[in-house]
Amino acid sequence: MAQNKRAKNQHKGAQQQECSSSQQDTQLPAPENAILIDGSILEGGGQILRNSAALSVIMQTPISVEKIRAGRSKPGLRPQHLAGLRLLENLSGGRLSGGVESSKSIVLEPAALQCGNFEGNTGTAGSCTLLAQAALPCLLFASPTGTQDMSVVGLRGGTDASMAPPVGYMQHILLPTLRRLFDVDITERLERRGFFPKGGGHISLEVRCLPIGAKLPAFNLTSSSDVTSVKLLAFSAGKLKGSQGGKPSIVDRLASSAIDVLRQNLGLDIEISTEFTEETEQSAFGNGVGMLLIATTSEGCLLGAAAIGERCKSSEQLGKAAAQELINDIYAGGCVDCWLQDQLIIFMALADGESSMTCGEPTLHTRTAMVIAEQLTSAKFTVRRPAPRSQEPWTISCKGAGVAAGGHSSDL
């Protein structure tokens, strides 16, 4: 009898799970003017959600995203993706349908994008910086609330995670580039680092919105220039701090292997400065080690590469790989690295006029970002491939939509 009851309960549970899965696969009702986004195209991951949701909020256009992460081993929304969507839902005062873990379709209906105080929490070691990527353009285009033109956002999760730019990249490359190109008022504060598997990190952002009617200016990042210096920033936290058994510490091995590759490729005369930080229990949660490389060119462009500690790779392997990635971007002859190229696409699409940047071959993330931007704005991108065996970089150009803060482009 007990076995039969257990079997019935198990069968009932399986039916409920199947029903829940079926609901997650079902197309959700959406407004007639919602733009349909295929979440499985090209990169097929979280970037489609971040960019389409951010542009939906800015353009005040509802979206319906289907086939979310369809090709992944665990399809549908993961906690970090859901956290990003919830954050943008709150930023816009809108409504998110299908916002449950493992959901393969969502509908986002934005309302009023206004300045305020907001929180985003992955609840895991999911990347805080990816939450920031989605929120930043939205906060610039938010409308003031009374006399408040500054938004404050607290982001919690992993600050230094694999498969995502670490917080240092945002601090030292992305935000300085945005300030240089657009003269925007954005400040960040790393409250605490957090690592896999528990997260526990905390980043604070303060973003002043653009004046009503203002537009981001077009930019030109195409001037060829030489690297004048490289800065190496490395940190260690928890049990990974210090040397063990008289051997060089993990962070020392990470840095020295990177410097060897840099010297071999850039020469002995290149200026390389180093800065090492041992995090305290207050400044970091858990055990972690990482390194950020920042190359500065004679034209003031910033290119970066990073290494985050991984159990399956030695410090030497990680250091060499990060340095080689930076060298590859330098040799490509562009003004942006392989990470920054895709992060600037949304700003090119929103800007007023024609923007251009040179880079290495556009990544899948970059190509995905261009497709999503063209679906949700009037922006038009062109990509120029260098001639065979040429030493020239690739060029990405965009006729921007000219979106005005507090309003939309006049040519939509």
User: Binding site membership for ATP: which residues?
Assistant: 133
Helix runs in 28-171, H state only: 46-59, 79-92, 128-140, 167-169
3-state helix/strand/coil string of 262-278 = HHHHHCCCCEEEEEEEE
Q: Which of 144, 168, 155 is nearest to 205 (CA)?
A: 155
Q: Which of 271, 395, 409, 278 is nearest to 353 (CA)?
A: 409
What DSSP string runs through 113-137?
-B--EEEEE-SSS-BHHHHHHHHHH
244: burial class by Cβ within 10 Å (0-12, 13-18, 19+)? exposed
CA-to-CA distance for 175 and 159, rounded, in angstroms?
16
Active-site residue identified among 81, 172, 202, 365: 365
The number of residues making up the chain comes to 412
Which residues sit opposite 4 in a β-bridge? Answer: none
Check: CB of residue 169 under 8 Å from CB of residue 129: yes
Question: Does 365 participate in catalysis according to the annotation?
Answer: yes
CA-to-CA distance for 14 and 280, rounded, in angstroms?
47
Residue whose tokens read 């997650």: 24
Task: Please give the helix or strand (H or E) that residue 372 lies within, else none.
Answer: helix 364-376
Residue whose tokens read 């203002």: 214
Check: CB of residue 207 under 8 Å from CB of residue 186: yes
Catalytic residues: 365
